[in-house]
Structure formats: C-alpha cells, structure tokens
Amino acid sequence: MSWNPLAETFKTNSAINGVPCFDQIIIMDAAGNMWGASSGFTNLPDAERKAIPNLFKNPDSARAGGITINGKKYFVLQADENMIMGKKGGDGCVAMKTKGAIVVTTHVPPIQTPELVNKTEPVVQYLKEQGH
C-alpha cells in the first residue's frame, strides 16, 4: 500500500464547505514508525512520533504534559487509550489509535477540534477494516 498518496486523499476528502478539515495527517504504526503523511508533515521528528504511542499507554501523562506535534505543544483536552485531543489557541490536533496503527491529524481555523474528531474517525475505521 502506498501510504503518502492515501494520506493526501484522506486530507482532500476531509473538506468541510471546500476547506480541508485536516491541515496535516500522518499515519504510523503502533510503535510510532511512519507509514505515510500529507505533504509538509513527512519530517515529523522521530522523538515526537515515538512519544505518541506512550501517551496512549499513560493518558494521565498526556493530560499533564500535553502532546507535541511538529514542534507545537498542544494542551490535552481529552485523553484515553484510544484518542488524544489537543488544542493550542485556534489550532488543534487529534491522535487516534487502532490495534496496529495511529492516525494524527491537525487543524487550523476556521475548523474546530470536534469537526477534526468527526473527520478523523472514518480514517481510523478504514484502517480497522484493512486489518490495522
């Protein structure tokens, strides 16, 4: 499977009233190894990618310390073993996991974080249907 084009397709299909809901999307395995990303998100630092799976294992640490994506530290609004939702000013992020994959999406205004959650869920469902 070619992951970068798939990530770009998910980004394009996330549009709300012609505005892409996803500013960026990255798809990685459960250990934080990158499978694919939208353009501009392919250089996510290894340390950031590797930290995300640990936040799912310890949601309290996510709530206490936030989540950093592409150098931007988000305040975590909600965290559990399947989803982390963060906010920084008008920007937001969502990380969702399946048994074998993690999807991280970000948004900028005018998109709101609940809209990002609603658009990220079908991506996660697709990965589950594919056995990830």
Residue 104 has pLDDT above 90, yes or no: yes
Coil, helix or strand for 21?
coil
Q: Are 93 and 86 in contact (CB under 8 A)?
A: yes
pLDDT at residue 16 in the model: 83
What mean pLDDT do residues 53-76 have? Answer: 96
Q: Residue 29's domain spans which residues? A: 3-129
Q: Is the pLDDT of residue 13 over 70?
A: yes
| % of the chain surpassing 90 pLDDT | 78
Which residues have C-beta within 8 Å of that of residue 55, sequence separation ≥ 6? 61, 62, 67, 79, 84, 95
Task: Please answer whether residues 54 and 64 qualify as being in contact, where contact means their C-beta atoms are separated by less than 8 angstroms.
Answer: no
* Averaged pLDDT, 10-33: 90
pLDDT digits (tens, 9 = 90+) for 109-128: 999 999 999 999 999 999 99
Separation in Å, CA 73 to CA 91, 92, 122, 128: 11, 10, 25, 28
Q: Look up the CATH number of the domain holding residue 65.
A: 3.30.450.30
Query: Hey, what amino acid is at 113?
Result: T
Question: What's the structural domain count of the chain?
Answer: 1
The CA-based dihedral angle spanning residues 37, 115, 112, 79, taken in that order and rounded to the nearest 10 degrees: -80
Average pLDDT, the chain: 93
Q: What DSSP string runs through 59-122?
A: HHHHHHH-EEETTEEEEEEEE-SSEEEEEETTEEEEEEE-SSEEEEEEE-TTS-HHHHHHHHHH
Give the pLDDT confidence score for residue 126 in this predicted structure: 95
Q: Residue 1: what pLDDT? A: 63
| More confident position, 98 or 17 | 98
